[in-house]
Amino acid sequence: MPDIKVTPLGAGQDVGRSCILVSIGGKNIMLDCGMHMGYNDDRRFPDFSYITQNGRLTDYLDCVIISHFHLDHCGALPYMSEMVGYDGPIYMTHPTKAICPILLEDFRKITVDKKGETNFFTSQMIKDCMKKVVPLNLHQTVQVDDELEIKAYYAGHVLGAAMVQIKVGSESVVYTGDYNMTPDRHLGAAWIDKCRPDILITESTYATTIRDSKRCRERDFLKKVHESIERGGKVLIPVFALGRAQELCILLETFWERMNLKAPIYFSTGLTEKANHYYKLFITWTNQKIRKTFVQRNMFEFKHIKAFDRSYADNPGPMVVFATPGMLHAGQSLQIFKKWAGNEKNMVIMPGYCVQGTVGHKILNGQKKLEMEGRATLEVKLQVEYMSFSAHADAKGIMQLIRMAEPHNILLVHGEAKKMAFLKDKIEQEFNISCYMPANGETTTVTTNPSVPVDISLNLLKREMALGGPLPDPKRPRTMHGTLIMKDNSLRLVSPEQALKELGLSEHQLRFTCRVHLQDPHSDTDTLSRIYSHLKSVLKGYAVQHLPDSTVMVESIVLKVSSSAEEPDLKVVLLSWCFQDEELGSFLSTLLKKGLPSAL
């Protein structure tokens, strides 16, 4: 039986470093090529030596597919393609292709220029790598080669995030990447059709969470900002450059528009400006509202949100500032925070999770005095709010996607083992399909039962149609006679005559003969006529003939009666039928073996 093999090199029972190898129908595909944020050594990148110990990967991989631009999904790409060596195609969507190099370059700068690491990929490598990228459109089927085809579906999550269907023949795998089943202010919800893949590889970040409606969160957020502005306070929102920042911008922008507010909103420049540019361009990847109204006005061309300048922080009056980075550990957001922390009218809103040790984490835990570099302490008087906005599907969303796609098997990646186990149980219980959660380096094999398409000759089909009922019932299998010809890598079902003709063979007649002994006191001719009348009575609807040359023909089956001189009562009935009439022939022989009824 053919099978599909899936091996996670990263993201197996883990979050980060997504990299999954799939072998399907003789093709090898790498899904995502990410890095791990938590490590600074070799564990940072997936272990490509799993594929081959030495040499390039090109010979072993048919293609690489990147689901979206987050670094834990694409961070190792230049390393893999340029330093390990891969020249095959890399597939990603247009927005991903546009934004990915910006993030990679930023990442490179931080590691090489700031941390001083050597033996890291260079800017040129990123450029070379991006040259190998083939862009994908939504719902466009791309032929990687003659047999392998891939198709992208919308995944929500971030701009350009996609789920990918990989198909070889009738076997298919769907990889979700990261996705979001609830729409937000700038992106829609993930959607897939009922493609019934053999394996659905899904993320499971929130395997054990069912989230509240996003509306309360949004309302709370807006209310807090609004109240603070009305008091004349300043609001600081530390964000990471891409993704949530845009959502919050849209949220504030529309709110300002609706409420006719005048207080300025600033966005710290840099990376974000470039990214915002792409958000403006890729309108088709956003949600219904933005898509429909962009003709009048592109929502990403913010009216109220302006670029931030360092000097603005000291301006009097209320304002809202988005600043990077998101955890208040360095950079502009921390500088602004220091300036504003002393005033209780001001507010800081943390829109995401903060790692331990960062200023963000400390203030969230209610610390009122912070120690800064050089002995100075900072009193925190401003209000600290926490607001979580996340763009992963929750447990219900994952189940919903499974219901949409109706896969035969499920494989969980990108989540914690313990949480996965819970979801695995649930999936097996609710859908009654098998679910896997391999660890990194562990291979899962799923046997498939692909259907083999066979060309059937039209004549044969028509003949069968004429024999059978009015309409073929698609739900029920039906047997038919024909000859299967396997030639030149193609399968055809034709009628036997045609097969003989095509192959230049002559037909062999196959006849079965059989003797049946009967005890009958009558003469041969009488016996024959008795047999004749018996058969006539039993086989209604069949042509039973008594021929003058003392034979009985039932359709094409010949019956003869003879007896030896020694035992005139023991009649030997000779039955002869050809292979096609096997059924009737064997029926007749058993019938005759039972003897003739005495009534005749």
Binding another protein (rule: CB under 8 A), the pick from 287, 529, 550, 589 is 287
Q: Nearest approach, Cβ of 209 to another protein (angstroms)?
A: 5
DSSP class of residue 394?
B
Judged by CB under 8 A, the stretch of 306-314, 335-343, 429-437, 551-559 that binds another protein is 429-437
Q: Is 501 in the site for another protein (CB under 8 A)?
A: no
Q: Is 464 in the site for another protein (CB under 8 A)?
A: no
Binding another protein (rule: CB under 8 A), the pick from 211, 329, 338, 463 is 211
Binding another protein (rule: CB under 8 A), the pick from 321, 364, 382, 559 is 364
Q: Nearest approach, Cβ of 300 to another protein (angstroms)?
A: 14
Burial of 430 (0-12, 13-18, 19+ CB in 10 A): exposed
Question: Whose Cβ is closer to another protein: residue 144's or residue 364's?
Answer: 364
- Cβ neighbours of residue 62 closer than 8 Å, sequence gap 6 or more: 27, 28, 29, 88, 144, 145, 148
Query: Whose structure tokens read 């209610």?
Result: 366
Q: Nearest approach, Cβ of 475 to another protein (angstroms)?
A: 7
| Number of shown-chain residues binding another protein (CB under 8 A) | 58
Question: Whose Cβ is closer to another protein: residue 361's or residue 546's?
Answer: 361
Q: Is 213 in the site for another protein (CB under 8 A)?
A: yes
Judged by CB under 8 A, the stretch of 44-52, 108-116, 180-188, 484-492 that binds another protein is 180-188
Q: Nearest approach, Cβ of 397 to another protein (angstroms)?
A: 9
CA distance 237 to 243: 14
Pairing of strands 347-350, 234-238: parallel
Binding another protein (rule: CB under 8 A), the pick from 116, 316, 366, 504 is 366
Question: Whose Cβ is closer to another protein: residue 222's or residue 499's?
Answer: 222
Judged by CB under 8 A, the stretch of 164-172, 189-197, 436-444, 512-520 that binds another protein is 189-197
Q: Nearest approach, Cβ of 286 to another protein (angstroms)?
A: 11
Q: Is 438 in the site for another protein (CB under 8 A)?
A: no
Judged by CB under 8 A, the stretch of 24-32, 40-48, 216-224, 314-322 that binds another protein is 216-224
CA distance 341 to 369: 10
Q: Pick from 102, 93, 50: which is nearest to 68 by CA?
A: 93
Binding another protein (rule: CB under 8 A), the pick from 58, 209, 298, 580 is 209
Q: Is 422 in the site for another protein (CB under 8 A)?
A: yes
CA distance 62 to 183: 34
CA 565 to chain centre: 81
Phi/psi region, residue 85 (left: phi>0; alpha: psi -120 to 50; beta: rest), is left
Q: Which two tokens stand for residue 347?
A: 């507010």
Q: Is 193 in the site for another protein (CB under 8 A)?
A: yes
Q: Pick from 392, 2, 372, 342: which is nearest to 204 by CA?
A: 392
Binding another protein (rule: CB under 8 A), the pick from 189, 201, 239, 263 is 189
Question: Whose Cβ is closer to another protein: residue 44's or residue 362's?
Answer: 362
Q: Rounded to whole angstroms, what are the CA distances from 380 to 229, 240, 339, 369?
A: 19, 22, 10, 6
- Helices 524-538 and 582-593 sit at what angle, rounded to 10 degrees? 120
- Helices 214-230 and 244-259 sit at what angle, rounded to 10 degrees? 60
Judged by CB under 8 A, the stretch of 20-28, 364-372, 432-440, 547-555 that binds another protein is 364-372
The DSSP element (H or E) to which 272 belongs, if any, is helix 271-281
Which string of x and - marks every residue 242-281 that binds another protein (by CB under 8 A)?
------------x--xxxx---------------------
Cβ burial 257-290 (10 Å sphere, 16+ → b, else e): eeeebebbbbbbebbbeebbebbeebbebbbeeb
Binding another protein (rule: CB under 8 A), the pick from 27, 44, 68, 185 is 185
Judged by CB under 8 A, the stretch of 14-22, 84-92, 326-334, 424-432 that binds another protein is 424-432
- Cβ neighbours of residue 487 closer than 8 Å, sequence gap 6 or more: none
Q: Which two tokens stand for residue 429?
A: 């219980």
Question: Which segments of 373-520 does DSSP mark as H helices, in order?
Answer: 395-405, 417-431, 458-467, 496-503
Q: Rounded to whole angstroms, what are the CA distances from 235 to 309, 344, 365?
A: 15, 11, 19
Question: Whose Cβ is closer to another protein: residue 118's or residue 288's?
Answer: 288
Q: Pick from 142, 24, 45, 127: which is nearest to 91 by CA?
A: 142
Q: Which of residues 381-400 bind another protein (CB under 8 A)?
A: 383-386, 395-396, 399-400
Binding another protein (rule: CB under 8 A), the pick from 41, 113, 212, 566 is 212
Question: Whose Cβ is closer to another protein: residue 35's or residue 174's?
Answer: 174
Binding another protein (rule: CB under 8 A), the pick from 165, 182, 204, 563 is 182
Judged by CB under 8 A, the stretch of 241-249, 378-386, 557-565, 575-583 that binds another protein is 378-386
Binding another protein (rule: CB under 8 A), the pick from 56, 127, 132, 214 is 214
Q: Is 291 in the site for another protein (CB under 8 A)?
A: no
Q: Which two tokens stand for residue 516?
A: 């049946």
3-state secondary structure 127-165: HHHHHCEEEECECCEEECCCCEEEEEEECCCCCCCEEEE
Q: Which two tokens stand for residue 65?
A: 């597919």
Which string of x and - marks every residue 218-237 that binds another protein (by CB under 8 A)?
xxx-xxx-x-----------
Q: Is 203 a catalytic residue?
A: yes
In a 13 Å sphere around the CA of 580, the CA atoms on its Cβ side amount to 9
CA 367 to chain centre: 45
CA dihedral 325, 330, 332, 336 (to 10 degrees): 110
CA 460 to chain centre: 38
Q: Is 194 in the site for another protein (CB under 8 A)?
A: yes
CA distance 421 to 450: 29
Q: Is 188 in the site for another protein (CB under 8 A)?
A: yes
Q: Is 586 in the site for another protein (CB under 8 A)?
A: no
CA dihedral 237, 208, 215, 67 (to 10 degrees): 70
Judged by CB under 8 A, the stretch of 53-61, 263-271, 303-311, 423-431 that binds another protein is 423-431
Please identify which of the residues 82, 203, 218, 385 carries the catalytic annotation.
203
Q: Nearest approach, Cβ of 160 to another protein (angstroms)?
A: 17
Active site residues: 203
Query: Which residues of this chain interact with another protein, rule CB under 8 A?
Result: 182-183, 185, 188-189, 191-194, 208-220, 222-224, 226, 254, 257-260, 287-289, 364-366, 383-386, 395-396, 399-400, 403-404, 419, 422, 425-426, 429-431, 470-471, 474-475
